[in-house]
């Protein structure tokens, strides 16, 4: 991804540092900058919890919130589910509900476990590729960016963009 991002894409505007990159588009997963030299191939990406997906590479700068991006991708899958199979129809909505509990210190551990459980069910039981990869963006944030989750649970977005959206309800 390094060659694609920097040599062909020119890097981020203003030479900002890369916070993460989404390998494989919405179906892929977020990876840390340390993975920039991982080949954009199925096996190496899957070994890191990502996927080649559509082949798209989305670069995330320091002013973007990974939880907001994971929410956007998860909402996309929930909205695009055709509803033909229960795992996808119900599982993608359940992912969004678990995501809302992820930043509350009182429910964070339970929410993480639920997201992992839903990810496994979606991957194994969904009829089509959409459901099978729906949890990838969220699972990759859990795996590779625990500091983002911890900051949000403490009430602060590292990118400074979330405001009250991610704070637990009083």
**Residue 97, φ and ψ in degrees, nearest 5:** -65, -40
Strand order of the β-sheet with 57-60 is 29-31, 20-23, 57-60
- List, for residues 34-74, the tens digit of each pLDDT value: 999 999 999 999 899 888 888 899 999 999 999 999 999 99
Does domain 2-60 correspond to CATH entry 3.90.1150.10? no
Residue 52's pLDDT is what? 87
- State which fold the 66-166 domain adopts: de novo design (two linked rop proteins) (1.20.1440)
- List, for residues 109-168, the tens digit of each pLDDT value: 999 999 999 999 999 999 999 999 999 999 999 999 999 998 988 888 999 887 655 554
- List, for residues 86-102, the tens digit of each pLDDT value: 999 999 999 999 998 98
CATH 3.10.20.600 domain extents, the chain? 2-60
Residue 154's pLDDT is what? 86
Residue 166's pLDDT is what? 52
Residue 18: pLDDT over 70: yes
Overall average pLDDT of the 24-36 stretch: 93
Which of 76, 127, 119, 69 has its CA nearest to residue 98?
A: 119
Distance, CA of 170 to CA of 53 (rounded, Å): 39
CATH 1.20.1440.230 domain extents, the chain? 66-166
């Amino acid at each position: 991804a390094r060659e694609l991002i920097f040599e062909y894409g020119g890097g981020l505007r203003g030479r900002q540092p890369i916070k993460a990159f989404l390998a494989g588009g919405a179906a892929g997963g977020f990876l840390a900058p340390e993975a920039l030299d991982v080949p954009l191939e199925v096996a190496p990406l899957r070994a890191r919890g990502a996927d080649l997906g559509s082949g798209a590479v989305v670069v995330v700068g320091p002013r973007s919130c990974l939880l907001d991006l994971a929410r956007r991708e998860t909402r996309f899958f929930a909205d695009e589910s055709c509803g033909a199979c229960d795992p996808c129809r119900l599982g993608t909505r359940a992912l969004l509900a678990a995501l809302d509990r992820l930043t509350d210190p009182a429910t964070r551990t339970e929410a993480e476990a639920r997201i992992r459980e839903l990810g496994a069910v979606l991957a194994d039981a969904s009829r089509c590729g959409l459901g099978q990869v729906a949890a990838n963006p969220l699972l990759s944030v859990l795996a590779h960016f625990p500091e983002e989750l911890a900051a949000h649970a403490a009430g602060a977005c590292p990118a400074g963009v979330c405001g009250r959206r991610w704070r637990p309800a009083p």
